[in-house]
């Protein structure tokens, strides 16, 4: 069966995209610019600008001289590829085999597709009309070979359907540019007076090859269909999603639980086949009144463990609105990570921080609404006690420095330190007694002072002189005086912690 | 008593212990937590792991002393790379101080919950998690039912639970295996050196199932518990300038 190809050429792809976003640009000459060799040059222009003689590659300053009212905006790099990919993915509705034809077109393998639209012409016009209604102008053509369709889309000047077997005739009047060959060869052909394909298509291949090289012959063969051409189809990324439609609207919690479990099992099966695990999941129920109930969970490490994920959802199910009946369940995961299978252990042990059971516990706790914080601390290189620890980012993060063991620190630290009243001999003796929460503590033993300066390069404030003290009952405290003794400025004493 | 009868009673005692929540140690060999003579107070002369221990504290100072004692116990419990969870209402424990008790602070996960009820829920979830070695929870009111749930959870998971109860009122009966009271004692430094000596605690074992309650004085010295036999009456020296 002979093949059919449909080529679409977006002649003003980028400017069309800008005009869709900013409709006022449609009615004015408009160009995009990129910096090149120290000056701004035009990278794309719309139809109105082109009518005034402004072309791609012209310096912006020159274009402004021609047309003072020219609208200029910055080009976005890699915009073309993104747009073409998006359009190609969208076009999969017309044929399962669509490929990107960079920089400004797509190629659709329409073999066996057009009869669904009632023929080649209605098929092509339907596509063209859909593209135009989205705001893009396009050249379009259909032929037996990709090369012929490519050339016809760009150079025939109208939507063109080359009948089966007639593609070689259709291209005869096109310029050599329609052959997808290098500019250098095109220029040489023009110099030789070969302005139409019909001028040189009949010349023996051996003499053509001698003058223009192999790639030129290859292109001609591709256009004529004597040489096969291959394309890489666009494969859209399939989202990790499961759907479960219900015959009757679901009204009971049991029904929701079944729906949840079934979609979870399917999704987790798919994930485990691909050695992946999900980091978040969204369970949606489409209700009969047109509203959507939604539950979201996230995990601290990738997981495809059905029971664990189910439990995370289960904690939240009580707030799930079911009335007036659920018609469709969907379960989607937008963040998925690699999860290589682990070797199963014969015996169980406390695996430390890498234990999956620990990660699952953390997930369950963090899903709970009464949670204030879950923290794990690592040492930080600061002397001030409250700055000497930092929360770890993940369960498995390693400490970058070691814990300091040479300084004695209290087991409980008040944050912020509480001000106390103190009787202390000056200048740097430990206090003799202090009052905390109305109770007077007489100090029997003391160690200190240990001076900790503020980090003057990032923070302001006074230094602290820390004392470890023990009162008559044997209770041990950590006190500090803020700043020096000074007649003019008041100094304050604080209780900062309790020793074991 | 007839020797055969004594044997029978001893055997029956051994049968009763597992029913009451005591489990033989996982590895088979009893794990010694370095409590010295105190361990004689427990059934089988082994500190009961995979059980719930309850600590009563009067004030914050007691709570810190209790924290120190528990840290000392955890030092041997976490020796082979276990993880522990510390659940409380507000995070007040200062991790760097744990290095003094031979612990790696990064092996602790600190969880704070808003309400008492949430702490109990989190505690139960954590006790069910076999991947942990110990769970420490700061709970004020512990009902008998809650303590029973905790006990059932640890029987399956082999986690050791420590409950720190601040100012419990009333001191109701619970299903915990032990009930302790730890308070600070004045430290003593050798040879009348000025300054503060090693941390010293009054350890009261108020209640222990199938054991003998008792009262001891302990000191944490060079990374170990040391039992103090006869405490000298402390003579308060006039304060000296130090540091």
Q: Which CATH number fits the domain that encloses residue B68?
A: 3.40.50.300
| Domain co-membership, A424 together with A452 | yes
**What is the domain-level CATH number for residue A294?**
3.30.1490.100
Calpha distance A408→B78 (Å, rounded) = 21
CA angle A400, A401, A403 (to 5 degrees): 135
Q: Judge whether B57 lies within some domain.
A: yes
CA nearest to B64, candidates A161, A500, A253: A500
Which chain B positions have a beta carbon within 8 Å of A365's beta carbon? 111, 122, 125-126
Burial class from Cβ neighbours inside 10 Å (0-12, 13-18, 19+) for residue B39 reads middle
Calpha distance B60→A308 (Å, rounded) = 38
| Domain co-membership, A417 together with A494 | yes
Distance from first CA to last CA of chain A, Å, rounded?
87
Pairing of strands A105-109, A98-101: antiparallel
Q: Judge whether B5 lies within some domain.
A: no
> Cα-flanking dihedrals φ and ψ of residue A291, to 5°?
-90, 165
Q: Judge whether A226 lies within some domain.
A: yes
| Domain co-membership, A120 together with A194 | yes
Q: Judge whether A343 lies within some domain.
A: no
| Domain co-membership, A170 together with A215 | yes
Say if B236 is an interface residue toward chain A (CB within 8 Å).
yes
Q: What percent of chain A has pLDDT over 90?
A: 9
> Cα-flanking dihedrals φ and ψ of residue A216, to 5°?
-65, -45
Beta bridge partners of B214: B205
pLDDT tens for chain B, residues 1 to 243 = 577 888 888 888 777 777 766 665 554 444 667 777 788 888 777 888 888 999 998 888 899 999 999 999 888 888 777 889 999 988 889 999 999 988 888 889 999 988 888 999 999 999 998 888 899 999 888 889 999 999 989 888 888 999 999 877 777 888 888 999 999 998 887 777 888 888 999 999 998 888 888 898 988 888 888 888 765 444 444 555 554
| Domain co-membership, A325 together with A281 | yes
Q: Judge whether A467 lies within some domain.
A: yes
Q: Judge whether B144 lies within some domain.
A: yes
> Cα-flanking dihedrals φ and ψ of residue A288, to 5°?
-65, -25
What is the domain extent for residue A390? Answer: 375-405
| Domain co-membership, A392 together with A482 | no
Residues 8-67, chain B, touching A (beta carbon < 8 A): 60-61, 63-65, 67
Is the ipTM value over 0.85, yes or no? no
| Domain co-membership, A172 together with A222 | yes
Say if A424 is an interface residue toward chain B (CB within 8 Å).
no
Q: What pLDDT shows up at residue B32?
A: 64
Q: Judge whether B140 lies within some domain.
A: yes
Q: In whole numbers, what is the pLDDT of chain B averaged over residues?
A: 83
| Domain co-membership, A201 together with A285 | no
Region for A4 from its dihedrals, namely left if φ exceeds 0, alpha if ψ lies in -120 to 50, beta otherwise: beta
Contact A352 B242 (CB under 8 A): no
Q: Judge whether B35 lies within some domain.
A: no
Domain closes at, from A208, A236, A264: A236
Q: Judge whether B18 lies within some domain.
A: no
Q: What is the pLDDT of residues B103-133, one digit of tens each?
A: 888 889 999 988 888 999 999 999 998 888 8
Residues 198-217, chain B, touching A (beta carbon < 8 A): 199-201
| Domain co-membership, A199 together with A222 | yes
Q: What percent of chain A has pLDDT over 70?
A: 96
Q: Judge whether B166 lies within some domain.
A: yes
Q: What is the pLDDT of residues A341-352, one digit of tens each?
A: 766 655 555 556
User: Cβ–Cβ contacts within 10 Å for residue A310, how many?
Assistant: 17
Q: What is the pLDDT of residues A194-252, one digit of tens each?
A: 888 888 888 888 888 888 888 888 888 888 888 888 888 888 777 888 899 988 888 88
Give, for A149, the enclosing helix (H) or strand (E).
helix A146-155
Beta bridge partners of A341: none
Residue A408 is nearest to which of B100, B185, B187, comparing CB atoms?
A: B100
Q: How many CA atoms lie within 13 A of A29 on its CB side?
A: 17
Q: Judge whether B243 lies within some domain.
A: no
Contact B125 A365 (CB under 8 A): yes
Residue B67 is nearest to which of A411, A448, A469, comparing CB atoms?
A: A411
Say if B192 is an interface residue toward chain A (CB within 8 Å).
no
Q: How many independent structural domains does chain A possess?
A: 4
Beta bridge partners of A372: none
Strands of the A139-143 sheet, one edge to the other:
A98-101, A105-109, A5-9, A139-143, A160-161
User: Would you say A368 and B122 are in contact if contact means Cβ atoms under 8 Å apart?
Assistant: yes
Q: How many independent structural domains does chain B possess?
A: 1
Contact A377 B90 (CB under 8 A): no
| Domain co-membership, A396 together with A308 | no
| Domain co-membership, A92 together with A216 | yes
Say if B130 is an interface residue toward chain A (CB within 8 Å).
yes
Q: What pLDDT shows up at residue B234?
A: 44
| Domain co-membership, A171 together with A277 | no
Give, for A154, the enclosing helix (H) or strand (E).
helix A146-155
Contact B186 A444 (CB under 8 A): yes
What is the domain extent for residue B179? Answer: 50-188+198-227
Domain closes at, from A338, A358, A390: A338
Residue B82 is nearest to which of A350, A414, A474, comparing CB atoms?
A: A350
Say if A105 is an interface residue toward chain B (CB within 8 Å).
no
Contact A364 B130 (CB under 8 A): no
């Amino acid at each position: 069966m002979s093949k059919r190809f449909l080529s679409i050429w977006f002649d003003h792809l980028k400017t069309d995209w800008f005009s869709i976003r900013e409709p006022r640009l449609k009615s004015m000459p408009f160009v995009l610019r990129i910096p090149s060799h120290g000056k701004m040059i035009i990278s794309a222009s719309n139809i109105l600008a082109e009518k005034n003689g402004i072309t791609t590659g012209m310096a912006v300053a020159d274009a402004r001289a021609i047309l003072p009212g020219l609208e200029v905006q910055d080009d976005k790099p890699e915009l073309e590829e993104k747009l073409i990919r998006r359009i190609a993915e969208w076009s999969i509705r017309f044929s399962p085999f669509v490929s990107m034809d960079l920089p400004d077109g797509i190629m659709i393998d329409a073999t066996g597709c057009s009869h669904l639209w009632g023929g080649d012409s209605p098929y092509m016009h339907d596509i063209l009309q859909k593209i135009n209604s989205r705001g893009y102008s396009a050249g379009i053509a259909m032929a037996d070979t990709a090369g012929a369709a490519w050339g016809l889309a760009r150079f025939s000047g109208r939507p063109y359907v080359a009948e089966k077997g007639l593609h070689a005739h259709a291209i005869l009047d096109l310029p050599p540019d329609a052959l997808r060959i290098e500019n250098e060869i095109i220029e040489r052909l023009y110099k030789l007076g070969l302005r139409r394909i019909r001028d040189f298509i009949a010349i023996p291949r051996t003499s053509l090859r001698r003058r223009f090289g192999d790639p030129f012959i290859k292109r001609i063969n591709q256009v004529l269909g004597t040489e096969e051409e291959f394309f890489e189809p666009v494969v859209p990324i399939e989202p990790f999603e499961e759907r479960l439609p219900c015959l009757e609207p679901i009204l009971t919690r049991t029904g929701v639980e079944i729906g949840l479990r079934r979609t979870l099992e399917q999704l987790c099966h798919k994930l485990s086949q691909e050695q992946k695990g999900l980091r978040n999941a969204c369970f949606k129920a489409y209700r009969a009144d047109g509203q959507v109930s939604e539950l979201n969970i996230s995990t601290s490490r990738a997981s495809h463990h059905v029971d664990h994920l189910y439990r995370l959802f289960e904690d939240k199910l009580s707030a799930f609105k079911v009335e007036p009946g659920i018609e469709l369940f969907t379960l989607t995961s937008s963040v998925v990570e690699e999860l290589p299978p682990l070797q199963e252990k014969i015996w169980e042990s406390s695996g430390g921080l890498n234990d999956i059971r620990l990660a699952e516990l953390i997930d369950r706790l963090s899903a709970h609404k009464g949670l204030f914080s879950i923290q794990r601390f690592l040492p930080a290189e600061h002397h001030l006690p409250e700055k000497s620890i930092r929360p770890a980012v993940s369960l498995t993060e390693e400490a970058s420095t070691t814990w300091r063991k040479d300084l004695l620190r209290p087991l409980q630290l008040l944050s912020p330190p509480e001000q106390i009243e103190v009787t202390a001999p000056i200048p740097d003796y430990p206090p003799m007694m202090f009052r905390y929460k109305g109770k007077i503590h007489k100090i029997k033993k003391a160690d200190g002072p240990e001076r900790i300066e503020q980090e003057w390069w990032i923070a302001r404030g006074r230094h602290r002189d820390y004392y470890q003290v023990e009162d008559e009952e044997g209770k041990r405290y950590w006190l500090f005086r803020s700043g020096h003794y000074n007649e003019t400025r008041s100094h304050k004493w604080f209780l900062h912690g309790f020793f074991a | 008593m007839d020797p055969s009868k004594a044997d029978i009673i001893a055997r029956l005692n051994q049968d009763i212990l597992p029913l009451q929540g005591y489990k033989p140690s996982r590895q088979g060999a009893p794990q010694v937590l370095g409590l010295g003579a105190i361990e004689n107070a427990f059934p089988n002369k082994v500190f009961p792991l995979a059980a719930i221990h309850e600590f009563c504290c009067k004030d914050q100072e007691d709570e810190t002393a209790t924290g120190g004692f528990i840290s000392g116990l955890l030092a041997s419990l976490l020796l082979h790379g276990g993880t522990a969870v510390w659940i409380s209402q507000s995070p007040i424990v200062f991790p760097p101080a744990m290095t003094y008790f031979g612990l790696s602070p990064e092996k602790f996960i600190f969880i704070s919950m808003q309400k008492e009820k949430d702490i109990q829920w989190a505690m139960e979830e954590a006790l069910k998690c076999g991947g942990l070695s110990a769970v420490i929870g700061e709970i004020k009111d512990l009902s008998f039912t809650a303590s029973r749930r905790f006990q059932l959870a640890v029987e399956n998971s082999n986690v050791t639970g420590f409950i720190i109860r601040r100012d419990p009122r009333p001191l109701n009966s619970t299903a915990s295996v032990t009930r302790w009271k730890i308070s600070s004692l004045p430290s003593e430094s050798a040879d009348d050196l000025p300054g503060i000596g090693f941390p010293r605690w009054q350890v009261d074992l108020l209640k222990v199932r199938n054991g003998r309650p008792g009262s001891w004085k302990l000191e944490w010295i060079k990374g170990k518990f040391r039992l103090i036999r006869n405490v000298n009456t402390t003579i308060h020296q006039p304060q000296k300038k130090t540091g």
